[in-house]
Amino acid sequence: MNADQIKNEIVSGNTALGIELGSTRIKAVLVSTDFQTVASGDYVWENELDKGIWTYPLTKVWEGIQTSYANLATEVKDKYGVEITKIGSIGISAMMHGYMAFDKNDEILVPFRTWRNNITGDAAAELTELFNFNIPERWSIAHLYQAILNKEEHVKNIDFMTTLDGYVHYKLSGEKVVGIGDASGIFPIDEAAKSYDAGMLEKFRALQAVKQYTWDIKEILPEVKVAGENAGTLTDEGARLLDPSGQLQGGALMAPSEGDAGTGMVSTNAVRKRTGNISAGTSAFSMVVLDSPLKKVHRDIDMVTTPDGAPVAMVHTNNCSSDINAWASIFNEFAKAIGHPVKGNDLYGALFDTSLKGDQDAGGLVNFAYLSGENITKMAEGRPMFVRKPDANFTLANFFKTQLYSAFAPLKIGMDILLREEHIKTDVLIAQGGLFKTPVVAQQVLADALNTPITVMGNAGEGGPWGMAVLALYAKDTKGKSLSDYLDQDVFTDPDSMTLEPEPVSVRGYEKFIDNYKAALPVEGKAVESMKMN
């Protein structure tokens, strides 16, 4: 579309808005009916450690949403000379899982417990055995059951529990619903029924510790919706919450809200069986859409779904790029100290390019990029740590290659289960996320780490909120197509992408690195044990 056509779409209210609450940024993206990004706005935030719990205050949730929307609206005004008064459809996405429990007055009972908390080990293990189905620590049901096991006072007052995107969707629409992809991180899903597994709900009800409460588990969970369904409309109150200036009117169709894993699948066109995607940012996760069931239950493999309900094997790691960002900040301080400040993109580009000169095994250096606990390697808490032997080849190139290698190390360990033990096959594996904004380098490291071709699309750094806007357009008009056909035939008709093959010598080097990494894991464990948090 040209500028005049886009302007007409904005004025007539045919656009779609996608908002994603990521772990470091809240971003709003306005998209035209030809899937073109019209405008965007964002807000940077960070999780807070409150009495040992990783959380985000609800005040920051709304400050971030309103700021990102206001920045988007300003860009629309500047580029097209019009105000946004109507939007055709809206979708909300957020980092998956975690725990938000509310009483009958819609008051949150305990601070939002994010996916980053590794505090539900006993509950997750007991429920996994009960269901014969892997329940990860960050899942909402694990948080609820751990609170029950801990005899937390608030549990008796629960009237409704949900995830972050489900909460925002409820406040904007009044509907207590979530998309099936996000719902699959709340409680296990029955693929045929496209809802929570009835047998597992009954097993949970029958638990002795659960029987004491007057609420019923199914009644306090949000209703499940699949992609393309109507999930309510933006209320007038919701419009004022989103846009306090009062310009935006209510009435927009609300798509089923989704987790960031679901929007990642959409934005990389990876919802069809035998496709897969990898998202790499503060955390990292891989998603492979299965064409057959796994042979057994794996504690490091999560079973979730696509936004239209197909089973997905997910490897989720709590840590990825945070340590890279921390070290880049140190180098930036040094550059300023010697009077040669460097712009962010140039700094990352220089450090990433320098890593290419390093040894294939990173010179024997090892790094643990654990800002928080890591479920894949069984670390309850995070202690970022760099370690080397005296005879290691300690150069800048090897040091930064180690940062890139370690960012993907937990993901590599988890993916080896799928690729080597379950022999899962994929037709394509597409990567997205901030690490791939710097071209080629991180993409090649990932291809070598997994010994699998990796494709990166042109929207690699901005996929999530755009993917949610696409889901909002799909909810407005499915065109009678399945989600996978809609993406193939309407959205990704001429994709901008690049594929890199693994390089055998680098694959061998990464395998040597990961052997050193695994051997040093007890050192990281001792750091967690000995260096206590304040």
| pLDDT reported for residue 462 | 53
pLDDT of residue 344: 82
Which CATH class, in words, describes the domain spanning 97-162+187-220? alpha beta
pLDDT of residue 439: 86
Share of the chain above pLDDT 90, in %: 84
Complete DSSP assignment for 371-416: SS-BTTTTBSS---EEE--TTS---HHHHHHHHHHHHHHHHHHHHH
| Distance, CA of 377 to CA of 109 (rounded, Å) | 32
pLDDT of 453 > 50? The answer is: yes
Residue 460: predicted pLDDT? 47
Given a cut of 80, whether residue 77 has pLDDT beyond it is yes
pLDDT confidence bin for 64, thresholds 50/70/90: very high
Structural tokens at position 392: 């290691």
The predicted-structure confidence for 186-220, as pLDDT tens digits, reads as follows: 999 999 999 999 999 999 999 999 999 999 999 99
Q: Is there a contact between 196 and 218 (Cβ–Cβ < 8 Å)?
A: yes
Confidence of residue 283 (pLDDT cuts 50, 70, 90): confident
What average pLDDT score do residues 443-472 get?
Answer: 87
For the segment 252-265, what is each residue's pLDDT rounded down to a tens digit? 999 999 998 899 89
Tens of pLDDT, residue by residue over 103-150, are 999 999 999 999 888 899 999 999 999 999 999 999 999 999 999 999
Q: What is the mean pLDDT of residues 396-411?
A: 97
Asked if residue 459 has pLDDT above 90, the reply is no
Query: For the chain, what percent of residues have pLDDT higher than 70?
Result: 99
Specify the pLDDT at position 67: 98
pLDDT at 80 over 80: yes
Give residue 187's pLDDT.
98
Residue 158 has pLDDT above 60, yes or no: yes
pLDDT band at 437 (very low <50, low <70, confident <90, very high): confident
Burial of 38 (0-12, 13-18, 19+ CB in 10 A): buried
In sequence order, what DSSP letters do the residues of 169-235 get, joined into one string? Answer: HHHHHS--EEEHHHHTTTS-EETTTTEE-HHHHHHHHT-HHHHTSSS-HHHHSPEEE-TTS---B--
- Confidence band for 427, pLDDT divided at 50, 70 and 90: confident
d(CA 166, CA 513): 40
The CATH number of the domain covering residues in 269-459+503-533: 3.30.420.40
Domain locations in the chain as residue ranges: 1-94+231-268+463-499, 97-162+187-220, 269-459+503-533
266-285: average pLDDT = 89
pLDDT, mean over the chain: 94
CB atoms within 10 A of CB 259: 30
Q: What is the DSSP letter of 419?
A: I
Distance in angstroms (rounded) separating the CA atoms of residues 364 and 344:
28
End-to-end CA distance of the chain, in Å? Answer: 55
- At 246 the three-state DSSP class reads coil
Whether residue 450 has pLDDT greater than 50: yes
pLDDT, residue 356, reads: 97
Would you say the CATH fold of 269-459+503-533 matches that of 1-94+231-268+463-499? yes
Q: Among the CATH numbers 3.30.1490.20, 3.60.15.10, 3.30.420.40, 3.60.70.12, which is that of 1-94+231-268+463-499?
A: 3.30.420.40
pLDDT in the model for residue 262: 92
Beta bridge partners, 368, equal 385
Does the structure show a pLDDT above 50 at 461?
no
